[in-house]
Structure 1
Amino acid sequence: MSSTLVIRQPQPVMEICDSDEWGSGICDCCCFAYWCLSCFACMTASKYGECLCLPLLDVFGCVPPATFSMRVSMRQRYGIKGTMCRDCLYATFCCPCTWCQMSREMKRRNIQVVLIGAKNT
């Protein structure tokens, strides 16, 4: 007589944020970004998984390329409605506010993995 041993691992449960809008307005800024934008932008880019020095490219040209590309990337990753034209305008004329908004969105959409049914040993 043979017996079958079945082992079930707990499955991760993730909270999904279904909103297709930004979690905060463009003008909800913080003092750190206002007074030291380059430091704040570099930290935000690093947390997003990009090169730490990427925002330093923004000093070249009329439209800040790093701010613009990060905002477009974040909209696509999180499924946020918007246009590249609006992203370009915000990146060009509201750069500190754009970095603040992206930082808040990353914190808001951080998906925590919670194991259900796991026993402490």
Structure 2
Amino acid sequence: MFVSGCITYWCPCVTFGRVAEIVDRGSTSCGASGALYALVCCLIGCGCLYSCFYRSKMRRQFNLKGSDCTDCLTHCFCEPCALCQEYRELENKGFDMHIGWHGNVEQRSRGIAMSAAAAAPPPQPPMTR
């Protein structure tokens, strides 16, 4: 958690890219999503306008509580916290965020059991805001 928090603080485009790749189910790469996020931040100075849509998309995919309005407000008022929360939520769902969507699909299709050290932590209550 400390590492993802530091990465998110110093370079949120990396965390956003990783989240977006999983939420988009590999249709966009981490690099492309992160670059687009960085471009939005540079052009209008507010990446939250882009990232809040991914929070809503993730919430619908995993049937998490919340609303589009709270998703937008969460990202607008605390973008780094929102990105870290989404990152942790995907880790809790069993995704290895470092290998991306295709790596997770390949790992699961080969039937590789996650070792105790690499296993996702026990589930925590889903994100609410």
> After TM superposition, is the score higher than 0.5?
yes
Q: Compared with structure 1, are the counterparts of its residues 91 and 109 closer, same or farther at alpha carbon in structure 2 (3 Å cutoff)? A: same
The aligned length equals 87
Would you tell me which structure has more strand in proportion to its own residues? 1
**Which has the larger Rg?**
1
Q: Where is the helix percentage greater, Structure 1 or Structure 2?
A: 2
The structure with higher relative contact order (CA 8 Å, sep 6+) is 1
Do the aligned partners of residues 30 and 86 (structure 1) sit closer, same or farther apart at CA in structure 2, a change above 3 Å counting? same
Q: Which residue of 2 aligns with 1:90?
A: 74
Do the aligned partners of 1:58 and 1:64 also contact (CA within 8 Å) in 2? no
Hey, what's the Cα distance between the residues in 1 that align with 2:75 and 2:85?
11
Q: Give unmatched runs, 5+ long, in structure 1.
A: 1-28, 116-121
Cα distance per residue 1:33-66 (max 9 Å; x no partner) = 1122122222332343344334235423757232
The TM-score, its normalising length taken from structure 2, stands at 0.54
1:55 to 2:30 alignment: no
Match 2:92 to one of 108, 114, 119: 108
Q: Which secondary structure does the structure 2 equivalent of 1:104 belong to? A: helix
Alignment pair present for 1:67 and 2:51: yes
**Which residue does 2:99 correspond to in 1?**
none
Partner of 1:39: 14
Q: 1:80 is paired with a residue of what secondary structure?
A: coil
Identity of aligned residues (%): 31
